[in-house]
């Protein structure tokens, strides 16, 4: 084939460039490293129009007057053509988009990125996006099947959102700049029978449907990698450009050697090719930003009356696989395919569409293979209407599975981290600090930054071992790296809270065992490995318990004495991830709270974050943005409390969760525009999202109050958990939450009364305290609902009897405490050697009166021998007590108690439990403080609703009328109070409770 090589001209600055023709062939469009898109009327155009799309432009595509570009700000933009007006952003990635391509109709755009993802976006509505995951390296190239059935992203074949096949043809790289070839694939136009894939110095042709490798194109001059391939509009010729600057054109129909071969005039790398719509020209660009043209190519018509005359006598030969001694393809016959090769590239003279009666179509078939044929039929069969016999099929008959397809299991990940393939990434972001990882040409390091610099100063570590996962706590930094052929997987801990000089330790995992997930707790560290083993260490490096997991680990999280583990429990189908969860609690009594129960996820979603709230409640987030939290009061069930997708402006936007707080109710996360992960620089800002239970009809007043009440109940369950675990709690916050819940109940009660829902009122009264039930009775009486008031009085009597029973229990236990106090005084007298118990009694009483309850985690340095220096903390909330003698709150005692200190005696006529002196002092002090607080509460006369209202509004009354005396102020206040509505007065009555 004759051609003329035009002299090349400067187009863009040095770097990667791309080129394409518009649909009419009037313009040549290029983009480059200078961030401009240039529109050339011809190669000789000295003043091309340009459009600035960003700092750098990596790829472009043109269709239907729409110009799509991939720029350096991680976005895929769209402009009008040829005007160049911006038309919005189609999608975003976490790193640079590498390649963009239109489908044949121009309705969709596919974009590949260095973050291993492909996104398919509707041009008319960019919110309609699909993300294809499964690549294990940066995506170098994407291309649509001309029939819009398949998508290839180098080199994996996708059907809808299912990966059909993957060809392991290229060496994986961590960045596009390190790739030896761009591997720009190309589908044959028209019938799309063949897919051309550049592989090193050759071009492989794969047949549609069977996806078999049917032919290889190569030549002696091709000694360096082929970068890009492009089909001619007629589908007969295939052009390629190599790293060494060799331009080659093959006539694939003749299956002969290269018919055109041109060398770049300076030997630069050819990085883009484009055919003119007429097939008479090939435009190409190099890595120096120059534009060239091959002109005078012989065009081939797409259809003629006698299309056989277009080819030589040997055109009926088929393409084969393999090379002869002269490096030209060797021809081998293929059964059932020896007369119709011309039809692969040309339309029949009649212009009629080929009969599809022989197509066996199954829309539910994912693999697109049915009875040995491709899903969409062989379009190159005879034009007649007869069905192809089974003997003519190239692949033997075999049964096809049409049931649900297995879901690829989710890979292990570290919550609070971004993908490991990114050169700059977050290795951990939690409530303690941020761990950043850098792995580029300049540096391979880890930066650790603490939110509170009082914990520790920032640290910079050289990542010589290649750590990929990390965790951070108030005590230490835990790092782990995968194993290599020479080195084992290592676990490294920087124990910066250690009081000695050796603040670092390292452990080698056994051979063949890699760290998959890790976490830190209070005084311990855990690592889950590839052998489904979980290993526990102390924070100082002592090996502790080791046990096996029931399945491959997905992720872990630690908080205090709690360890939360999520793992695969089975194989999933139809996009579901069957995960299970275990919750372990360490400390004095090691136990399993949740033992392998299924973890609820949204439909066809996966786990994206796992952790604990700041108060110690387990919670997690799935890929659909649903946040769930553990409800300990309802049998350790998981309650959805928020959906981050509801606040996203676009379907491509996401929130990256970094923390959860129950008091105040806050979900701390980072908004990600067009991506799932935030960039490391500049440092992203943290946003706060509100929680909202997905109850019904939350737009109504009743639904809003119900949602507020149950959310308050759920998010204040942690008070009971912390109290039972021996931790000090905020009593003011607990009282405020109870007051808030009772006010909401009373408001719902008043609303139900207005709606004549008396049965509902009784249901609400069951949730109220005794004092609030009394207010409800008063409200029902004023509303002239005597039957309701009568039922409420019965509920009030029941609650009063319960309170009285509790008081009797306290009195009985108080008598036991006084007996224990006398007995302890007697023991101390015997221990001191004094003959008189009366002389020692005042000393013991004085000690007990001056002590307060100590926290479970008090340090050992607080010895009993120095009571004036022991830590003083708030007493814990009282626990329910039985009528029979019980163990006196062992979790409230000081550190250092032993079970051997406990003994049973019958000195006082009843069975009771006696503690050591230190334990008894702390326990009796707690009861003394509680009893004193109860007496103060009983002696305090409650204020009326008017008095509370006057205290709040006195300043406003005096500000309006400063000359009033106290008597006049009260009169004015009484006048204003009478004008209040019933609901406002009810709120003031609630404040007395």
Distance (Å, whole) CA 569 – CA 580: 6
**Could you read off the pLDDT of 636-667 as tens digits, one per residue?**
999 999 999 998 888 878 999 999 999 889 99
Burial class (CB in 10 A: 0-12, 13-18, 19+), 173: middle
- pLDDT interval class at 989 (50, 70, 90): low
Instruction: Give the residue, 382 or 962, on which the prediction is more confident.
Output: 962
Q: Domain check: are 23 and 102 in the same one?
A: yes
**Could you read off the pLDDT of 926-936 as tens digits, one per residue?**
554 555 555 55
pLDDT at 47: 83
pLDDT at 310: 40
Q: Domain check: are 115 and 248 in the same one?
A: no
Q: Does residue 563 contact residue 588 with C-beta atoms inside 8 Å?
A: no
Predicted confidence (pLDDT) at residue 19 exceeds the cutoff of 80: yes
Average pLDDT of the segment spanning 804-809: 82
Average pLDDT of the segment spanning 80-89: 88
Predicted confidence (pLDDT) at residue 627 exceeds the cutoff of 90: yes
Instruction: Give the residue, 394 or 519, on which the prediction is more confident.
Output: 519
Residue 549 within a domain: no
**Could you read off the pLDDT of 764-779 as tens digits, one per residue?**
999 999 889 999 999 9
Residue 340 within a domain: no
Burial class (CB in 10 A: 0-12, 13-18, 19+), 866: exposed
Residue 761 within a domain: yes
pLDDT at 127: 83
Average pLDDT of the segment spanning 236-252: 89
**Could you read off the pLDDT of 203-219 as tens digits, one per residue?**
988 888 888 888 888 88
Strand partners, 671: 655
Distance (Å, whole) CA 687 – CA 647: 12
Tokens 């649909």 appear where? 23
| Own/partner long-range contacts of 650-657 (Cβ < 8 Å, ≥24 apart) | 650/126, 650/127, 650/674, 651/127, 651/128, 651/129, 652/91, 652/92, 652/119, 652/126, 652/127, 652/129, 654/625, 655/625, 655/687, 655/689, 657/608, 657/609, 657/611, 657/621, 657/627
pLDDT at 366: 33
- pLDDT interval class at 991 (50, 70, 90): low
pLDDT at 100: 93
Sheet with 444-450, edge to edge strand ranges: 424-429, 433-439, 444-450, 459-462
CATH number, domain containing residue 114: 2.130.10.10
Residue 245 within a domain: yes
Q: Domain check: are 38 and 142 in the same one?
A: yes
Q: Does residue 675 contact residue 651 with C-beta atoms inside 8 Å?
A: no
Q: Domain check: are 36 and 126 in the same one?
A: yes
758, 780, 807 - which closes a domain: 807
Burial class (CB in 10 A: 0-12, 13-18, 19+), 617: buried
Q: Domain check: are 53 and 158 in the same one?
A: yes
When mean pLDDT is compared over 93-97, 403-407, 609-613, the highest value belongs to: 609-613
pLDDT at 587: 80
492, 514, 536 - which closes a domain: 514
Q: Domain check: are 194 and 63 in the same one?
A: no
Residue 142 within a domain: yes
Per-residue tokens: 252: 């694939």
Mean pLDDT of the chain: 78
Distance (Å, whole) CA 549 – CA 539: 22
Q: Domain check: are 128 and 193 in the same one?
A: no
Distance (Å, whole) CA 163 – CA 117: 12
Per-residue tokens: 569: 């429990």
Predicted confidence (pLDDT) at residue 815 exceeds the cutoff of 80: no
Predicted confidence (pLDDT) at residue 1 exceeds the cutoff of 80: no
Predicted confidence (pLDDT) at residue 308 exceeds the cutoff of 70: no
162, 192, 207 - which closes a domain: 162
**Could you read off the pLDDT of 947-971 as tens digits, one per residue?**
888 888 888 888 888 878 888 888 8
pLDDT at 886: 35
Number of structural domains in the chain: 4
Predicted confidence (pLDDT) at residue 913 exceeds the cutoff of 70: no
User: What is the residue range of 768's domain?
Assistant: 730-807
Predicted confidence (pLDDT) at residue 912 exceeds the cutoff of 50: no
Predicted confidence (pLDDT) at residue 688 exceeds the cutoff of 80: yes
Residue 48 within a domain: yes
pLDDT at 576: 93
Q: Domain check: are 18 and 155 in the same one?
A: yes
CA dihedral 778, 782, 784, 789 (to 10 degrees): 0
Per-residue tokens: 660: 């959860």
Q: Phi and psi of 628, rounded to 5°?
A: -125, 145
Q: Domain check: are 92 and 232 in the same one?
A: no
Give the other-Cβ count within 10 Å of 23's Cβ. Answer: 14
Q: Which residue in 803, 411, 884 sits closest to 607, CA to CA?
A: 411
CA atoms within 13 A on the CB side of 386: 5
Predicted confidence (pLDDT) at residue 883 exceeds the cutoff of 60: no
Residue 519 within a domain: no
pLDDT at 923: 47
Give the other-Cβ count within 10 Å of 669's Cβ. Answer: 25
pLDDT at 840: 40
Q: Domain check: are 130 and 237 in the same one?
A: no
Q: Which residue in 296, 294, 289, 249 sits closest to 270, CA to CA?
A: 289
Instruction: Give the residue, 394 or 110, on which the prediction is more confident.
Output: 110
CA atoms within 13 A on the CB side of 561: 16
**Residues, the chain, total?**
993
CATH number, domain containing residue 235: 2.40.10
Distance (Å, whole) CA 652 – CA 88: 14
Q: Which residues contact 961 (CB under 8 A, 6 or more apart)?
A: 968, 972
Q: Does residue 247 contact residue 240 with C-beta atoms inside 8 Å?
A: yes
Q: Does residue 162 contact residue 156 with C-beta atoms inside 8 Å?
A: no
Instruction: Give the residue, 686 or 940, on which the prediction is more confident.
Output: 686
Residue 874 within a domain: no
Tokens 């939450």 appear where? 737
Q: Rg of the chain's alpha carbons, rounded to an integer?
A: 38
What is the per-residue DSSP string for 812-856?
HHHHHHHHHHHHHHHHHHHHHT-S-HHHHHHHHHHHHHT--PPPT
- pLDDT interval class at 384 (50, 70, 90): very low
Q: Domain check: are 124 and 250 in the same one?
A: no
Q: Domain check: are 187 and 157 in the same one?
A: no
What is the per-residue DSSP string for 222-272?
--S-EEEEEE-TTSSEEEEEETT-EEEEEETTTT-S-SEEEE-TT-PPEEE
pLDDT at 765: 93
Q: Which helix (H) or strand (E) holds 749?
A: helix 731-754
């Amino acid at each position: 084939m004759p051609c003329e090589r035009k002299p090349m001209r400067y187009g863009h600055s040095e770097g990667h460039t791309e080129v394409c023709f518009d649909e009419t062939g009037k313009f040549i469009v290029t983009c480059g490293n200078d961030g401009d898109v240039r529109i050339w009327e011809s190669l000789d155009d000295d003043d091309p129009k340009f459009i600035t799309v960003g700092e750098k432009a990596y790829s472009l595509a043109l269709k239907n007057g729409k110009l799509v570009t991939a720029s350096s700000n991680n976005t895929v933009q769209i402009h009008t053509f040829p005007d160049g007006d911006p038309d919005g952003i189609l999608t975003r990635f976490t790193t640079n988009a590498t390649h963009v391509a239109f489908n044949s109709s121009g309705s969709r755009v596919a974009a590949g990125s260095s973050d291993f993802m492909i996104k398919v976006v509707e041009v008319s509505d960019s919110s309609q996006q699909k993300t294809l995951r499964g690549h294990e390296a940066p995506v170098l190239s994407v291309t649509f099947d001309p029939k819009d059935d398949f998508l290839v992203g180098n080199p994996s074949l996708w059907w809808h959102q299912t990966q059909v096949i993957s060809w392991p043809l290229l060496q994986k790289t961590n960045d596009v700049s390190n790739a030896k070839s761009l591997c720009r694939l190309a589908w044959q136009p028209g019938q799309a029978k063949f897919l051309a894939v550049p592989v090193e110095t050759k071009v492989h042709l794969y047949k549609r449907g069977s996806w078999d490798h049917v032919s290889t194109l190569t030549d002696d001059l091709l000694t360096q990698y082929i970068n890009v391939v492009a089909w001619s509009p007629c589908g007969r010729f295939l052009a390629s450009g190599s790293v060494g600057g060799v331009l080659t054109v093959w006539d694939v129909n003749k299956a002969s050697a290269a018919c055109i071969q041109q060398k770049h005039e300076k030997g630069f790398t050819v990085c883009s090719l484009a055919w003119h719509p007429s097939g008479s020209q090939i435009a190409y660009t190099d890595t120096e930003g120059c534009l060239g043209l091959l002109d005078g190519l012989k065009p081939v018509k797409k259809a003629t009356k006698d299309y056989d005359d277009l080819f030589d006598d040997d055109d009926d030969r088929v393409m084969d696989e393999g090379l002869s001694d002269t490096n030209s393809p060797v021809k081998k016959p293929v059964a059932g395919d020896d007369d119709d090769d011309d039809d692969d590239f040309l339309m029949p003279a009649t212009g009629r569409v080929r009969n599809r009666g022989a197509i066996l179509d199954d829309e539910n078939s994912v693999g697109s293979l049915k009875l040995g044929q491709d899903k969409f039929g062989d379009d190159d069969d005879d034009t007649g209407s007869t069905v192809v016999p089974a003997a003519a099929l190239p692949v033997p008959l075999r049964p096809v599975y049409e049931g649900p397809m297995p879901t690829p299991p989710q890979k292990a990940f570290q919550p609070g981290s971004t993908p490991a393939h990114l050169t700059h990434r977050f290795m951990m972001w939690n409530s303690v600090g941020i761990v950043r990882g850098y792995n580029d040409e300049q540096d391979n390091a880890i930066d650790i930054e603490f939110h509170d610099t009082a914990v520790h100063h920032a640290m910079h570590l050289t990542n010589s071992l290649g750590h990929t996962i990390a965790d951070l706590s108030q005590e230490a930094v835990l790092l782990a790296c995968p194993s290599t052929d020479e080195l084992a997987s290592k676990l490294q801990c920087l124990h910066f809270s250690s009081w000695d000089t050796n603040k670092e330790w390292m452990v080698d995992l056994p051979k063949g065992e890699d760290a998959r997930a890790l976490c830190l707790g209070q005084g311990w560290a855990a690592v889950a490995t590839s052998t489904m083993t979980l290993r526990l260490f102390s924070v100082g490096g002592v090996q502790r318990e080791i046990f096996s997991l029931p399945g491959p680990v997905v992720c872990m999280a630690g908080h205090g004495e709690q360890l939360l583990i999520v793992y695969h429990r089975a194989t999933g189908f139809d996009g579901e991830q069957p995960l299970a969860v275990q919750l372990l609690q360490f400390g004095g009594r090691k136990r399993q709270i949740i033992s392998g129960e299924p973890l609820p996820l949204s439909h066809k979603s996966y786990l994206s974050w796992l952790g604990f709230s700041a108060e110690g409640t387990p919670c997690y987030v799935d890929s659909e943005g649903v946040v769930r939290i553990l409800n300990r009061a309802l049998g350790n069930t998981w309650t959805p409390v928020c959906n981050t997708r509801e606040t996203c402006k676009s379907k491509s936007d996401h929130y990256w969760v970094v923390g959860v707080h129950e008091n105040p109710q806050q979900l701390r996360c980072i908004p990600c525009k067009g991506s799932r992960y935030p960039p490391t620089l500049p440092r992203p800002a943290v946003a706060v999202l509100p929680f909202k239970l997905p109850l019904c009809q939350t737009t109504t007043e009743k639904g809003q109050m119900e949602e507020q009440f149950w959310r308050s109940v759920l998010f204040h369950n942690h008070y009971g958990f912390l109290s039972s675990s021996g931790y000090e709690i905020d009593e003011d916050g607990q009282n405020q939450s109870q007051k808030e819940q009772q006010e909401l109940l009373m408001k719902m009660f008043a609303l139900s009364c207005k709606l004549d829902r008396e049965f509902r009122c009784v249901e609400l009264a069951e949730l109220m305290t005794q004092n609030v039930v009394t207010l409800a009775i008063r409200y029902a009486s004023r509303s002239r609902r005597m039957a309701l008031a009568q039922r409420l009085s019965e509920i009030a009597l029941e609650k009063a009897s319960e309170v009285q029973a509790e008081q009797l229990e306290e009195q009985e236990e108080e008598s036991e405490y006084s007996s224990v106090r006398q007995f302890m005084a007697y023991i101390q007298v015997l221990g001191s050697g004094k003959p008189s118990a009366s002389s020692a009694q005042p000393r013991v009483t004085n000690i007990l009166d001056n002590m307060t309850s100590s926290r479970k985690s008090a340090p050992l340095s607080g010895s009993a021998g120095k009571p004036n220096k022991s830590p003083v903390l708030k007493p814990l909330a009282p626990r329910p007590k039985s009528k029979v003698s019980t163990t006196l709150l062992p979790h409230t005692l000081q550190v250092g108690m032993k079970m051997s200190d406990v003994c049973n005696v019958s000195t006082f006529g009843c069975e009771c439990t006696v503690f050591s002196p230190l334990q008894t002092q702390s326990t009796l002090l707690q009861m003394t403080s509680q009893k004193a607080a109860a007496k103060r509460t009983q002696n305090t006369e409650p204020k009326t609703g008017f008095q509370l209202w006057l205290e709040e509004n006195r300043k406003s009354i005096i500000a309006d009328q400063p000359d009033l005396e106290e008597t006049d102020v009260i009169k004015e206040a009484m006048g204003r109070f009478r004008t209040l509505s019933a609901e406002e007065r009810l709120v003031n009555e609630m404040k007395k409770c």
